[in-house]
């Protein structure tokens, strides 16, 4: 599995302030160890689970799958007025 995906899944969960067991309960994942396996790169979550995680973590699916792109970071900076638009 893509270790970057595993890392992003874990970071998103931590940022959301959730424990692995809470995520398993909310997503109705059985067995609960599945969340640990996703975060350690031992298993890959299904597309449906990735979509549900993105909603749970209040992020975009593409951010979980591909990470933040330079364009996304630039757009975020523009939207928060940290740099001027010319």
Region 45-60: mean pLDDT is: 94
What are the counts of helices (DSSP H) followed by strands (DSSP E) for the chain? 6, 0
pTM: 0.74
Q: 67, 4 in Cβ contact below 8 A?
A: yes
DSSP string, 7-57: HHHHHHHHHTT--HHHHHHHTT-SSTHHHHHHHTTSS---HHHHHHHHHHT
Q: What is the pLDDT of residue 41?
A: 94
Q: In order of start, what are the domains of the chain with their CATH numbers?
A: 3-79 (1.10.260.40)
Token representation of residue 35: 């969340």
For residue 2, the model assigns a pLDDT of 72
Angle (CA) 48 54 35, round 5°: 70
pLDDT digits (tens, 9 = 90+) for 9-46: 999 999 999 999 999 999 999 888 999 999 999 999 99
């Amino acid at each position: 599995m893509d270790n970057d995906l595993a890392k992003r899944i874990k970071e998103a969960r931590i940022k959301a302030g959730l424990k692995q067991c809470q995520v398993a309960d909310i997503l109705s994942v059985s067995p609960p160890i599945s969340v640990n396996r996703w975060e350690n790169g031992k298993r890959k979550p299904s597309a449906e689970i990735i979509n549900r995680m993105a909603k749970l973590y209040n992020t975009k699916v593409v951010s979980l799958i591909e990470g933040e792109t330079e364009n996304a970071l630039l757009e975020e900076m523009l939207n928060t007025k940290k740099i001027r638009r010319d």
